[in-house]
């Protein structure tokens, strides 16, 4: 069996050792209970003050830039909707050139680009792909609230099957308008970019510190890296904001959003939904108004897809191949 590469990084071992200082601070206009804001808060905490962030258009741009004010303490720059990857490459290239020419001191400056599920997983995929083939040190975080949330909740390639969005309202003839199964972005990037050393999925709050340490690992291993986060969105998913953490935890425990790291090609589970009894997806779905219209039949379908992900896929929860591996017969 392949050994997982050892990454020397400063691990935060207990919640009490989490850095106290905020690099993304109070005074933003995200919704009550916004989990994407938690991604911002914790990636910047983990990366620390010597970090430059760029952010694609979306909630985490618009809600964090009210007129002439900012909650960012680290330098942050807005970039276009599909430009997460190219902004990361440009920033890293500029830093490298400035250091080579002696215009700024040689030091490690983290470059992190974040983008939403529409901006990164749909529109900006080619730019991220290009970034993952460079030799720059950069981290791309795709924060996935499962919709184009900023423009009032339109379906994207990452919206859960069956969910109501502005683009997919349930009607009297057609109950389900979001027919697409969630795009499997992180594995697509890992499979497609064999030299990319670190790809992971995460949730900002569950398990505690998991995301925080993944950011630290990604920044320590070097080269281009990628993390896909799972962000419950009280506005678009329609649940009371106090339950953000619970909804995230249920998403992971039900196995609908698999948690893992792929380090130098080796997969390791951060929450092993193969081994632990998976919470029925029903418990996750019925707590959200975006699924208020679905019926048992739909829940059974979603459950069967999740079960197939974990029971039938060659690499459970990650790669949707189902064995075979024989020479072609025709």
Q: Which residues bind ligand TPP (CB under 6 A)?
A: 57-60, 81, 116-119, 145, 147-151, 156
Which of 137, 144 has the CB closer to ligand TPP? 144
Helices 210-221 and 35-47 sit at what angle, rounded to 10 degrees?
A: 50
Which residues contact Mg ion (rule: CB under 5 A)? 116-117, 145, 149
Write the DSSP symbol of residue 180. P
- Report the partner that residue 116 touches, choosing among another protein, ligand SF4, ligand TPP, none (CB closer than 5 to 8 A by kind): ligand TPP
How many other CB atoms are there within 10 angstroms of residue 186's CB atom?
23
CA–CA distance, 119 with 116 (Å, rounded to integer)? 5
Residues between 98 and 127 that touch another protein (CB under 8 A)? none
Among 12, 31, 74, 188, contact with ligand SF4 (rule: CB under 6 A): 31
- Report the partner that residue 31 touches, choosing among ligand TPP, ligand SF4, Mg ion, none (CB closer than 5 to 8 A by kind): ligand SF4
Q: Tell me the residue number closest to ligand TPP, measured at CB.
A: 116
| Least distance in angstroms from the C-beta of 11 to ligand TPP | 29
Tell me which stretch binds another protein (CB under 8 A): 28-36, 154-162, 256-264, 316-324: 28-36
Q: Are 200 and 114 a contacting pair, CB within 8 Å?
A: no
Residues between 137 and 156 that touch another protein (CB under 8 A)? 150-153
CA–CA distance, 69 with 55 (Å, rounded to integer)? 16
End-to-end CA distance of the chain: 32
Q: Which residues contact 302 (CB under 8 A, 6 or more apart)?
A: 160, 161, 162, 256, 281, 285
Q: For residue 187, what are the CA distances in angstroms to 200, 215, 226, 264?
A: 9, 18, 10, 13
Q: Does 224 bind ligand SF4 (CB under 6 A)?
A: no
Tell me which stretch binds ligand SF4 (CB under 6 A): 90-98, 220-228, 229-237, 285-293: 229-237
Among 63, 118, 138, 259, contact with ligand SF4 (rule: CB under 6 A): 63
The angle at the Cα of 182, spanning 155 to 189, to the nearest 5 degrees, equals 115
20: exposed, middle or buried (C-beta count within 10 Å: 0-12, 13-18, 19+)? exposed
Site string for another protein, 162-181 (x = CB under 8 A): --x-----------------
Interacting residues toward another protein by CB under 8 A: 15-16, 18, 20-22, 24-35, 37-38, 41, 49, 59, 62-63, 65-75, 150-153, 164, 205, 208, 234-236, 238-247, 286-290, 292
């Amino acid at each position: 069996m392949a050994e997982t590469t050892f990454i020397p990084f400063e691990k935060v071992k207990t919640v009490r050792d989490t850095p106290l200082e905020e690099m993304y601070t109070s005074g933003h206009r995200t919704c009550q209970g916004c989990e994407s804001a938690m991604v911002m808060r914790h990636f910047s905490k983990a990366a620390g003050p010597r970090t430059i962030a760029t952010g694609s258009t979306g909630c985490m741009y618009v809600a964090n830039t009210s007129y002439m004010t900012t909650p960012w303490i680290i330098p942050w720059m807005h970039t276009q909707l599909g430009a997460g990857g190219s902004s990361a490459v440009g920033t890293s290239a500029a830093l490298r050139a400035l250091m080579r020419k002696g215009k700024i001191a040689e030091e490690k400056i983290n470059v992190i680009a974040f983008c939403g599920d529409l901006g990164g997983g749909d529109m900006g995929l080619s730019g991220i792909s290009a970034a993952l083939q460079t030799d720059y040190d950069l981290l791309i975080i795709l924060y996935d609230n499962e919709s184009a949330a900023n423009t009032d909740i339109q379906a994207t390639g990452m919206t859960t099957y069956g969910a109501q969005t502005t683009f997919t309202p349930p009607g009297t003839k057609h109950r389900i308008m979001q027919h697409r199964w969630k795009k499997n972005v992180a594995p697509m990037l890992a499979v497609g970019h064999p030299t990319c050393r670190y790809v992971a999925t995460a949730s900002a709050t569950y398990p505690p510190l998991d995301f925080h340490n993944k950011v630290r690992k990604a920044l320590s291993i070097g080269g281009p890296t990628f993390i896909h986060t799972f962000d419950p969105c009280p506005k678009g998913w329609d649940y009371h904001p106090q339950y953000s953490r619970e909804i995230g935890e249920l998403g992971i425990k039900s196995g609908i959003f698999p948690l893992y790291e792929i380090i130098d090609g080796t997969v390791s589970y951060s929450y092993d939904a193969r081994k632990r009894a998976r919470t029925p997806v029903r418990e996750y779905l019925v707590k959200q108004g975006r699924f208020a219209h679905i019926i048992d039949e739909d829940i059974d379908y979603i459950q069967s897809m999740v079960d197939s992900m974990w029971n039938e896929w060659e690499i459970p929860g990650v790669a949707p191949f189902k064995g075979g591996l024989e020479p072609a017969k025709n």
